[in-house]
Amino acid sequence: MQLGRPGIIAATAVEFGGELALFDTGAESNFENVASALRRIGFDVRDVRHVFLSHIHFDHAGAAWRFAVLGAKIYVHRRGAGHLIDPAKLVASATRIFGDNMETLWGRIAPVAEQSIRILEDMEIVRVGSSEVRALETPGHASHHHVYHWEDNVFGGDIAGVRLGKGPPIPPFVPPELHVESWHQSIARIRVLRPANLYLPHFGRVTDSIATHLDVLDERVHRWAEWFRDRLRHGDEEPQLIPAFAEYEAADLRAKGADDELVRDYECADPSYMAVAAALRYWRKYHPGEVSALGSK
Ligand SMILES: [Zn+2]
């Protein structure tokens, strides 16, 4: 449940031979929902001994400190760890985006004790119960993003797309670390694992072809990035791009069968205005020549 809407933010619980792990926690405001969902399958929140974070955005890691307080080990990319230990900078930058809605959206934010954190490097393996969970560095959405691979399963984080209900997969473009080339490479890294199961934080297990899911996502990363490039070349700025992209994304979703309710769910999981700031920064930082050809204002 996020802002009263079901099916937006997921925490994925996996039992490894008696040991319980969570892949992402959801926001702190989702903690009680996760606790009651765990009770329904016969667990207590204290049974969560391992928390594997895809990245540190609040909808994925916001409740990590609650699990750390209860004794869980928190696994995270090196570049994310400092923000868990001292979330002040992250809070400041998120407050610039979300303003007064911070607490409503994400709940309480508190530091994670340093001794509860274990930094994982690319390809590093953690033994959990009877299994081995491997972290794969997968930047693009965030520079400090991991997907996790065990047996024939992948927990995909945000790099593997947002896909709600019967809608298509879309790439959550958010500032400040969007990097399109890395995104394509990260999708390729997931593809070669040929997983039988792919779990998404937004939302749940992919129930049809994972190869097709990844292809469709890959195409959208490319097409959406080019859409922004072309608009920037024509001199559009943020005020025009925000409503224009919201319309473009909604049309893209509707073309794949989404109704108004589902379009609103996508907007809740991945607000379209964030893609504008992300894409502007990406093009101007990494390819300034591509977006100034026709003379931007
Ligand atoms: Zn994210």
Average per-residue pLDDT in the chain?
95
Distance set, CA 271 to CA 162, 173, 181, 246 (Å): 11, 9, 22, 9
Q: Per-domain residue ranges for the chain?
A: 12-216
- Identify the pLDDT of residue 143: 97
What separation in Å is there between the alpha carbon of 264 and the centre of ligand 1? 18
The CATH code belonging to domain 12-216 is 3.60.15.10
pLDDT (average), residues 129-140:
96
- Identify the pLDDT of residue 293: 55
Task: Give residue-wise pLDDT tens across range 45-95.
Answer: 999 999 999 999 999 999 999 999 999 999 999 999 999 999 999 899 889
Task: Give residue-wise pLDDT tens across range 150-190.
Answer: 999 999 999 999 999 999 999 999 999 999 999 999 999 99
What separation in Å is there between the alpha carbon of 297 and the centre of ligand 1? 30
What separation in Å is there between the alpha carbon of 176 and the centre of ligand 1? 11
Is 48 exposed, middle or buried, given 0-12, 13-18 or 19+ CB atoms closer than 10 A? Answer: buried
Share of the chain above pLDDT 90, in %: 90
3-state class (DSSP) for residue 133: strand
- Identify the pLDDT of residue 2: 84
